[in-house]
Structure 1
């Protein structure tokens, strides 16, 4: 067992980021991938992938990237699945990960090694079983690969000719042309699938939901919404403002840009946006307004082709597509490891989503339920992990991790999704790479109100880059916003109020 060798389970965005940053810190990562190619969810050919060919990202290319590699020239603002997969292949090659990949190799068991030193990993690839011991291991298998099916009376008896399908298995609209489809759920995938079906010739599309969420579109006044909604200022303000004020501010942002769903004929969401939830779809609200998507309450039952809703209405359907989310599945973990983690279908107890005090040498990457752009957060978590293990930054001690576990357990009773900007700042601070806006007066406006781009976390700390400031300013000005480096009077006043709150908290 080499003390520098690390097993990384998964070669999607999380596993590739972990491998790249561990290698930069002198480790020797070995990436295990069950599919025949890297890419994770973005490899549509993988049985573990829930994307479909031609699917577009709901995050902009600036925030669907890592700091060390831009997308290819000509990539659209919202790249297609094939373009993201090509990007991941280029990233893996640039990071020197291709020789470190074990493709077509499924990890079947992960446990403490005998004697408690290292991690025993049993894998199977090419019909051969292999048992190895690694000094460390990283679980980066993804959060969205085990479909969660709702308990609906009679669902198994559905007799529509196109059947029942979870959105994980959706492969595009061709099979639903001129058919009546019920789409269950109000997540991004449910609304995007419903919209695609309505635009691609389905005879009738009905969305059925337990609660109406607020809906953001991909663009706000020509700017990608993730550049506007997930800023450093919003994250900092959320740490000092009363929760009710944070909720009202977010609701105002959403309603001012896209309206509220009841304006176009959908149900009215809860006035508290955190209670209602937030989703995203470029076309959904417009299609509801045009009557091309109908909205009904949740399914009460199914009998043959007839789908009955909670309000007593019903309709005959040819297909039911379930956009009802995912359960957390880590079946390869040894029972004693799963027990230490408090693992169930939705929860895992970790300090800052990464470490556990009883499981030294084991880390988890990207297993949180997140709202907003994913790639920058994965990179920051991978950097913290690599820095903590190499000693580039101080690793959390047992007391800190115990406190982190306690906070994690408290959150079990509430919403599990975490906004991208809050998660990004958490990992950036842990990694020592969060710049103080007041120390960069020429960059302050872009740092606070511009997109939370990967380049903005290369200004300070380990692996800072000389061109980070220029790249960050380019990202901020890309869509015609924040061209001026000076804050407006309103922005300056808002920042002063938040800064005063941060100072009070620190004191």
Structure 2
């Protein structure tokens, strides 16, 4: 019966990782996915898709893959979106997840009924589940800034950007300094008449390779060489200077925060194109003026197309109003996972860490499998963990990062994994 199984809402990477663990641990489940197949944001050209033609992983395959299902040997170090989507679906097939998935079913409403949950979907099905695990991802609702004035050209969010053809022969402005904004600005240099790139603050940049190795692989090995965190990041700054990634060398403002205090911009080309004049760097937009844009430094640019690579917010419109308390862009959850009052409602993938997705997903999913088993037996260790869920949240390193909407969801990779392993051990005890 449906009410004896657990519902996983979302068939993207986090949902796949959790379903895999449930399958391995004999936990009955069903994945509810609005698209026609697994993939989530990697489903190019669909409503859930958030990738474009030139999208590649910004973390190496070693730091992205699941340790119990490595990417194929013939995959490049930074696979493109098609290869990564194929990998996710191959993994789902390998672990027998397709027989537990209901595709083309968007969740419309969720209602608690005691410890269980009644879920209504767009395909007209209504089921009750023993528990719900929300894995709908961070990139659900596009965020677009509002500026004074008006713009007569074409405006679109990165969520609707599929490739550079729309920019061909146009005067392009890309707003947003994150990884997508840098990628799209680089895309535009090949086809656009002019390219301007507006950012609200200075950024640190990292190349895809350092010392002949993927940058994140190189970074992961550094703690073995430096006992002191400050010495480690001072060394990283020196190396980035040597490899040509000091923004001040390109006439860009120098960040007033450390390299380790923000999510990394992994791009080997954006500074190259700025140095060659293919991309003109600009500060924040002050006003839209018809066919032109006024920037914070008083300069103007004539523009035909604006692409807003300005991020997303989580969105769970199917949850009853007031069920979850939101703090900025993130839900208030213990360990970024557990609802403080409803033990059968959990969230997966609500935080971001630099690198190690497969390792984080495996650690989180293994812990949640232990959580379900302990919950079903109502063990003393489960009651201890649930008591923790009602208290203050653990230190996930979030206070070390910049104060910004983007970094409100950022956590320290190693602190997060350490916490997940601690909770798993506690639940299994």
Same fold (TM over 0.5): yes
Distance 1:232 1:251 in 2: 13
User: Greater relative contact order: 1 or 2 (C-alpha under 8 angstroms, separation 6 or more)?
Assistant: 2
Secondary structure of the 2:417 match is helix
What does residue 319 of structure 1 align with? 305
User: Aligned-pair distance for 1:403?
Assistant: 3.1
What does residue 193 of structure 2 align with? 203
User: Aligned-pair distance for 1:337?
Assistant: 1.5
User: Aligned-pair distance for 1:331?
Assistant: 1.0
Distance 1:269 1:4 in 2: 53
State the TM-score, normalizing by the size of structure 1: 0.76
Against the structure 1 CA distance between its residues 258 and 389, is the aligned structure 2 distance closer, same or farther, given a 3 Å change threshold? farther
Matched, 1:385 2:368: yes
Matched, 1:65 2:65: yes
The residue correspondences of 1:245-284 to structure 2 (distance < 5 A) are: 248=234, 251-252=237-238, 254-273=240-259, 278-284=264-270
Distance 1:226 1:331 in 2: 35
What does residue 141 of structure 1 align with? 136
User: Aligned-pair distance for 1:39?
Assistant: 0.4
Aligned residue-pair number? 418
Distance 2:262 2:323 in 1: 35
Matched, 1:328 2:319: no
Deviations along 1:207-235, whole A, 9 cap, x unmatched? 1111011001111122111112245938x
What does residue 212 of structure 2 align with? 222
Matched, 1:354 2:337: yes
Q: Which runs of 5+ in 2 are unaligned?
A: none
Match of 1:297 among 271, 277, 283: 283
**RMSD, aligned CA:** 2.9
Match of 1:402 among 369, 373, 390: 390
User: Aligned-pair distance for 1:386?
Assistant: 1.0
Residue pair 1:145, 1:168 contacting (<8 A) in 2 also: no
Distance 1:361 1:419 in 2: 26
Residue pair 1:195, 1:283 contacting (<8 A) in 2 also: yes
Secondary structure of the 2:172 match is strand
Distance 1:336 1:104 in 2: 27
Distance 2:393 2:111 in 1: 21
Residue pair 2:223, 2:232 contacting (<8 A) in 1 also: no
Residue pair 1:356, 1:363 contacting (<8 A) in 2 also: yes
Residue pair 2:247, 2:254 contacting (<8 A) in 1 also: yes
Distance 2:13 2:222 in 1: 23
State the TM-score, normalizing by the size of structure 2: 0.89
Q: Which runs of 5+ in 1 are unaligned?
A: 434-460, 463-507
What does residue 51 of structure 2 align with? 51
What does residue 431 of structure 1 align with? 424
Distance 2:51 2:29 in 1: 27
Distance 2:62 2:352 in 1: 21
What does residue 371 of structure 1 align with? 354
Matched, 1:153 2:148: yes
What does residue 98 of structure 2 align with? 98
Against the structure 1 CA distance between its residues 346 and 401, is the aligned structure 2 distance closer, same or farther, given a 3 Å change threshold? same
